[in-house]
Amino acid sequence: MSAVPISELRGADVLLYHGNAWISKAIRFFDGSEYSHAALYLGSGSVGEAVSAGVVKRDLQTSRGDSKFVDARRLKARVETMDPVLAVSASILKQKQRYAYEQIILLALLAVSRKPKWTPVLRRLIRSVLDRAASTLSKLAAGKRQPMICSEFVFRCFAEAVGGEQDPYTIRIDTMDESILFAAPKGRGIDPESLLAWRLDATGEVWRAPAMEQELPEKKATEAEIEQLAEIYLKEVRTDREAAPVAQVSDRALRGSLDQFAEALHRSLTTGREIPETKEKVGPAPLETLANVASDFVTPGDLARTDSLFDIGRLKNA
Q: How confident is the model at residue 317 (pLDDT cuts 50, 70, 90)?
A: confident
Same domain, 184 and 129: yes
* pLDDT for residue 183: 60
Instruction: Inform me whether the pLDDT recorded for 272 exceeds 70.
Output: no
Same domain, 161 and 63: yes
Instruction: Inform me whether the pLDDT recorded for 127 exceeds 90.
Output: yes
Dist. CA 287–CA 261, nearest whole Å: 9
Q: How confident is the model at residue 310 (pLDDT cuts 50, 70, 90)?
A: very high
- Domain range enclosing 83: 1-101+148-173+299-318
Long-range contacts of 66-69 (CB under 8 A, 24+ apart): 66/19, 66/20, 66/21, 67/17, 67/18, 67/19, 67/20, 67/37, 68/18, 68/19, 68/20, 69/17, 69/18, 69/314, 69/315
Question: DSSP 3-state assignment of 51?
Answer: strand
Tell me the pLDDT tens digit for each residue of 75-108.
999 999 999 999 999 999 999 889 999 999 999 9
Same domain, 62 and 135: no
Dist. CA 110–CA 81, nearest whole Å: 34
* pLDDT for residue 58: 95
Same domain, 41 and 136: no
Nearest CA among 120, 126, 128, 109 for reference residue 237: 120
Same domain, 39 and 133: no
Same domain, 217 and 110: yes
Same domain, 90 and 232: no
Average pLDDT value for the chain: 87
β-bridge partners, 46:
43, 59
| Strand-strand pairing, 146-147 and 99-100 | parallel
Q: Say which residues have a Cβ less than 8 Å from residue 303's Cβ, sequence separation at least 6.
A: 14, 16, 35, 38, 73, 151, 154, 155, 171, 309
* pLDDT for residue 217: 55
Same domain, 161 and 33: yes
Tell me the pLDDT tens digit for each residue of 199-220.
887 555 667 665 544 555 566 8
Dist. CA 18–CA 16, nearest whole Å: 7
Dist. CA 299–CA 75, nearest whole Å: 17
Instruction: Inform me whether the pLDDT recorded for 165 exceeds 60.
Output: no
* pLDDT for residue 62: 94
β-bridge partners, 58:
47
Q: How confident is the model at residue 303 (pLDDT cuts 50, 70, 90)?
A: very high
* pLDDT for residue 37: 97
Dist. CA 283–CA 245, nearest whole Å: 35
More confident residue, 155 or 165: 155
Single pTM value for the model: 0.89
Domain count, the chain: 2
Dist. CA 116–CA 31, nearest whole Å: 9
Tell me the pLDDT tens digit for each residue of 13-46.
999 999 999 999 999 999 999 999 999 999 999 9
Same domain, 118 and 250: yes
CA angle at 265 for the pair 49 and 100, rounded to the nearest 5° = 20
CA distances (Å), 271 to each of 143, 162, 260, 276, in order? Answer: 12, 25, 18, 14
More confident residue, 95 or 243: 95
Same domain, 169 and 80: yes
β-bridge partners, 57:
48
User: What percentage of residues in the chain have a pLDDT greater than 90?
Assistant: 63
* pLDDT for residue 273: 46
